[in-house]
Structure 1
Amino acid sequence: KVLTSPSDGPIMAALKQLLHDCFHSLMEAEGFKEQGNAFYVKKDYAEAFNYYTKAIDMCPKNPSYYGNRAATLMMLYRYREALEDSQQAVRLDSTFMKGHLREGKCHLSLGNAMAAKRCFQRVLELESDNSQAQQELKNAESILEYERMAEIGFEKRDFRMVVFCMDRALDLSSACHRFKILKSECLALLGQYPEAQSVASDILRMDSTNADALYVRGLCLYYEDCIDKAVQFFVQALRMAPDHDKARLACRNAKALKAKKEEGNKAFKDGNYESAYELYSDALTIDPNNIKTNAKLYCNRATVGSKLKKLDQAIEDCTKAIKLDEIYVKAYLRRAQCYMETEQYDEAVRDYEKVYQTEKTKEHKHLLKNAQLELKKSKRKDYYKVLGVDKNATEDEIKKAYRKRALLHHPDRHSSASPEEQKEEEKKFKEVGEAFSVLSDPKKKSRYDSGQDLEDDGMNMGDFDANNIFKAFFGGPGGFSFEASGPGNFFFQFG
């Protein structure tokens, strides 16, 4: 306590009062610090912050107060403010090791590994065996290595590697927006849009003007084929950061892709299929990374291809669309239809099964059953092909076709052929008879056309005798014969 006496002059009295005030402020500040420490121990960091702030207000030149408040701010995840307090602490006392440590940890949490490394090296200059600084220095070096690996991975378009590296780096730099943005961008490029959007949205909640987060948010919308909304985010990002090259490129691609796709759609609606095909092809060259939109473009081009009877190309385009989007029902349906038209029924059934598993509608069930029926029919002998007639052939056309094919393959006609040739002709003769016996009978023909088993009518093709059909058709025994008119030559004689 400073006492004054009547003999003191005015200067001495003022000096003594000043000393008294300083001592009182110091004691009061120490009291606030102790109260802050008590709240810190209780993990009531908000109250600890308030008391450390009061201590600083009372005594703004004490580095330990800033150091303590920095520690509290770090517990509150307010690393940027903690960094400022740590830097103020070491400005007031360059040998304050805790200040250097906390500054380094703030840099580390914020992802500035080089600055963190310098802080920890400074601590080791002051105390070479400081184990905490040694460990934190290793952490800083690890982050620098993850950054290096991520940069290489991004250049090689190995986005999974980048995500892996950023996850490891974020374990040590949890408050680094830069690492989070890079991770979310790569997640978007990998097609993991919900997770990418979640990361970008978290940053935007804390900083609505973050151009990188705005860009990633737009990128997710762009890749989900919400192009108009995506452009809005790209424009906003460019408003925040006019030199944001990625946002500018994405905005340009989005607008070009939308315009070209709409041109193709219009040409298709107008029936100008050749032009639509070319426009969709041009759109596919704009941005290979836009998986969802490109899948739709491939499917659109497949639709045009089927109109132009380029069925193999249409199937290939649908396959490319499905490779980009494995649950793209429309592409499966389009490819299945093309498979049906090209009589690739096994493949059509496979695609319709996939569709029906995804969307169990009556329409899809009908399409699947129809494909299964055609597959079943395709595995039987095609009697229409055997006779060489269309599926809509009339009764007279079927009879004429049988007459021609039966005479062509009758065994008597090939009696002088080699045994192998005779066997082959006998087989064909039998098939012609089978075909005629089925297609000339309305009931059997109806069952055959519907894919039903003919055995249900008691017709066993294994025991079928084609000669009986032949004799019946040509008027029975003695009504027809082959007679030789010279070696290898035959003419037909009817009784």
Structure 2
Amino acid sequence: MATTVEVGSEEFPIEMEENEEEPMEDEIIEEDTRTPEEKANDKKTEGNTFYVQKDYKKAIELYTEAINLCPKCASYYGNRAACSIMLDKFKDGLEDARTAVLLDPTFVKGHLREAKCHLALGEIDGAIRSLEEVTKLDPNNKQAKNDLVTARACFKFISEGQKAYDSGDFRKVLFCMERAIALAPACSRFKVQRAESLVLLKRYSEAQTSLNDLLQREGMNADAIYVRGLCFYYEDMIEKAIQHFQQTLRLAPDHTKSRLAFKKCKSLKIKKEEGNTAFKTGKNQLAYDLYTEALQIDPLNVFTNAKLYFNRAIVGTRLGKTDEAIEDCTKAIELDPKYTKAFLKRAKCYMETELYEEAVRDYEKVLDMQPSKEHRHLLQDAKLELKKSKRKDYYKILGLSKNASDDEIKKAYRKHALLHHPDRHASKSPEERKEEEIKFKEVGEAYNILSDPKKKYRYDSGQDLDDMCNGFADFDANNIFQAFFSNGQGFSGGHGFSGGHGFSGGHGGYHSYPGSGYSFQFG
């Protein structure tokens, strides 16, 4: 079959299939005569099917359509509340449950779902009220009885946690809040209090993790932002802490805790910076006083206070307060057991005060925490000084410093040899004479070592002296004394036995001290 179309003065044929039919009229759709209530009921039935299949989002869509068709039916709100509960959307569920019981005060399931949402959100009083209403409507309702036990247990944990918080028992607070959260998993307040307890227990990493999870869901939660700021504050991240406290106060201007923390944070920052400035400009006493004032601001701020103690220790050594510096380093280490700088500073102070065993322990700890060539050398030096300290200190016997010159060594020997010579103490008791004899011998030992360059080098370097001089079995202090004074080093100018020491003038000639082995001939 063909037809033609006229274009201008010409006609063009348009081919059509032989079996092509003419267009049909639109089909007539039968009108839906169901009532809104019937349509809503069908939507509810379809929603129930998806609920059983655990497709709660699709079920919510269908229950919402049912509510739009029939907004006065309590069961539709109750069903949608049940879906929200399964999706942990307890605030949405609570709103629907409340609407359901307002529409039908005898709707037991509505009251139960309202209680469940109250409990999950940590609204324990509301949960108990709803459950008590159920027991009035249905005294034998087992679910209501069980949920009442749960709600009252949660209330007990909250009460005990608050008492523990007020008394500063943060371990118990943590215990109570973890159990309360298990019963009320959607309660932000319990999670914030748990995080704050972790901060106050110095478990900062755990606190940060829990707060990050909470703030991802509730980015404008002022309490959570405050606790996160507290975490930064106690980790000595002062600038970040200040930013968080400021944000908290913008969200909640009456947030008392944040205002107090912000004030402490600012005071601590200012006082510490003033101390640092005083130290850098050489005003050591002022810096010491400012660090002391800063330490009084917040005893709970562990890491900041550890640094303040360390800073004060440094200033203390400049002021000659070595013992106080050791104490400050010890306090810094107590606050921060991994504070390497404090260990190093304390070890150096121990070395200066000749507490070598303590210095060795500190350097061993440092080397364990931070192995390095420098720290190994420091430990070796401390061990050497410890070894040397266990021998007789010949410098101390002669009253000398360890860098004494040869002339100073001779003068010191002359002085102490005459001071402790047995003949000078002949009139004393045997015990006193024996004590002076021992001192006289030690003076001789000291001079024997320190006056010999080779022996002195070995002694100063910490080498064993026994092998070098075959011990002191054949040592004779009298020989040293005689050799020293026979060279004209001790019998003139009032240094020897003539001129004020009482060993000549009336004694004359040869004098000996019975039993001592020491005998001298005087002119």
Task: Give the alignment's TM-score, normalised by structure 1.
Answer: 0.90
Does the 8 Å CA contact 2:275/2:287 hold for their aligned counterparts?
yes
- Does 2:174 match 1:151? no
Q: Distance in 1 between matches of 2:271 and 2:415?
A: 57
Q: Which amino acid aligns with 1:21?
A: R
Q: Distance in 2 between matches of 1:171 and 1:466?
A: 84
Question: In structure 1, what is the equivalent of residue 302 of structure 2?
Answer: 291
Q: Which amino acid aligns with 1:243?
A: D
Distance apart, 1:416 and its partner CA: 4.1
Q: Distance in 2 between matches of 1:404 and 1:31?
A: 118
SS at match of 2:275: helix
Q: Distance in 1 between matches of 2:51 and 2:453?
A: 96
Question: In structure 2, what is the equivalent of residue 397 of structure 1?
Answer: 408
Q: In the alignment, which of 6, 21, 27 is matched to residue 34 of structure 2?
A: 21
- Does 2:234 match 1:186? no
Q: Which amino acid aligns with 1:273?
A: N
Q: Distance in 2 between matches of 1:427 and 1:35?
A: 110
SS at match of 2:367: helix
Q: Distance in 1 between matches of 2:506 and 2:179?
A: 94
Q: In the alignment, which of 451, 472, 476 is matched to residue 440 of structure 1?
A: 451
1:315-360 deviations in Å (ceiling 9; x for gaps): 1211221121111112212222222222222212211211111111
Question: In structure 2, what is the equivalent of residue 249 of structure 1?
Answer: 260
Q: Distance in 1 between matches of 2:372 and 2:259?
A: 43
Q: In the alignment, which of 24, 47, 54 is matched to residue 36 of structure 1?
A: 47
Distance apart, 1:114 and its partner CA: 0.9
Question: In structure 2, what is the equivalent of residue 320 of structure 1?
Answer: 331
Question: In structure 2, what is the equivalent of residue 163 of structure 1?
Answer: 174
Question: In structure 1, what is the equivalent of residue 120 of structure 2?
Answer: 109
More helix by share: 1
* Structure 1 spans left out of the alignment, 5+ residues: 1-16
- Does 2:477 match 1:466? yes
Question: In structure 1, what is the equivalent of residue 14 of structure 2?
Answer: none
Q: Which amino acid aligns with 2:237?
A: C
Q: Distance in 2 between matches of 1:56 and 1:475?
A: 124
Q: Distance in 2 between matches of 1:412 and 1:279?
A: 60
Distance apart, 1:426 and its partner CA: 2.3
Distance apart, 1:392 and its partner CA: 1.5
Instruction: Map 1:357-436 onto structure 2 (within 5 A).
Output: 357-436=368-447
Distance apart, 1:248 and its partner CA: 1.3
> 4+ residue stretches of structure 1 with deviation over 6 A?
479-484, 486-492
Q: Distance in 2 between matches of 1:410 and 1:63?
A: 114
1:425-462 deviations in Å (ceiling 9; x for gaps): 22212211211111111111111111221124243135
1:290-336 deviations in Å (ceiling 9; x for gaps): 21111111111111111101112111211221121111112212222
- Does 2:295 match 1:278? no
SS at match of 1:461: coil
Q: Distance in 2 between matches of 1:291 and 1:189?
A: 10
Q: Which amino acid aligns with 1:428?
A: K
SS at match of 1:21: coil
Q: Which amino acid aligns with 2:410?
A: K
* Structure 2 spans left out of the alignment, 5+ residues: 1-30, 498-502, 514-518
Q: Give the stretch that moved more between structures: 413-422 or 76-85.
A: 413-422
Q: Distance in 2 between matches of 1:415 and 1:288?
A: 63
Q: Distance in 1 between matches of 2:51 and 2:474?
A: 98
Does the 8 Å CA contact 1:329/1:355 hold for their aligned counterparts?
yes
Q: Which amino acid aligns with 2:255?
A: H
1:149-173 deviations in Å (ceiling 9; x for gaps): 1211111111111111111111101
Distance apart, 1:465 and its partner CA: 3.4
Does the 8 Å CA contact 1:56/1:66 hold for their aligned counterparts?
yes
- Does 2:148 match 1:137? yes
Q: Distance in 2 between matches of 1:396 and 1:279?
A: 47
1:180-215 deviations in Å (ceiling 9; x for gaps): 111111211222111112222222211211111111
Q: Give the stretch that moved more between structures: 362-371 or 99-108.
A: 362-371
Distance apart, 1:36 and its partner CA: 2.6
Aligned length in residues: 474
Structure 1 pair 346–118 and aligned structure 2 pair: CA distance change class (3 A) = same
Structure 1 pair 142–371 and aligned structure 2 pair: CA distance change class (3 A) = same
Does the 8 Å CA contact 1:483/1:492 hold for their aligned counterparts?
no
SS at match of 2:49: helix
Does the 8 Å CA contact 2:347/2:362 hold for their aligned counterparts?
yes
- Does 2:377 match 1:344? no
Does the 8 Å CA contact 1:483/1:493 hold for their aligned counterparts?
no
Q: Distance in 2 between matches of 1:380 and 1:316?
A: 28
Q: Distance in 2 between matches of 1:384 and 1:434?
A: 11
Structure 1 pair 484–125 and aligned structure 2 pair: CA distance change class (3 A) = farther
Q: Which amino acid aligns with 2:106?
A: T
Distance apart, 1:29 and its partner CA: 2.9
Question: In structure 2, what is the equivalent of residue 118 of structure 1?
Answer: 129
Q: In the alignment, which of 64, 89, 93 is matched to residue 100 of structure 2?
A: 89
Question: In structure 1, what is the equivalent of residue 278 of structure 2?
Answer: 267
Over the residues paired in the alignment, what is the CA RMSD in angstroms?
2.6
Q: Percent identity?
A: 58
Task: Give the alignment's TM-score, normalised by structure 2.
Answer: 0.85
Q: In the alignment, which of 188, 205, 214 is matched to residue 177 of structure 1?
A: 188
Does the 8 Å CA contact 1:197/1:217 hold for their aligned counterparts?
yes
1:198-253 deviations in Å (ceiling 9; x for gaps): 22222221121111111111111111111112111111111111111111111122
Question: In structure 1, what is the equivalent of residue 249 of structure 2?
Answer: 238
Does the 8 Å CA contact 1:163/1:187 hold for their aligned counterparts?
yes
Instruction: Map 1:218-229 onto structure 2 (within 5 A).
Output: 218-229=229-240
Q: Which amino acid aligns with 2:335?
A: L
Distance apart, 1:386 and its partner CA: 0.8
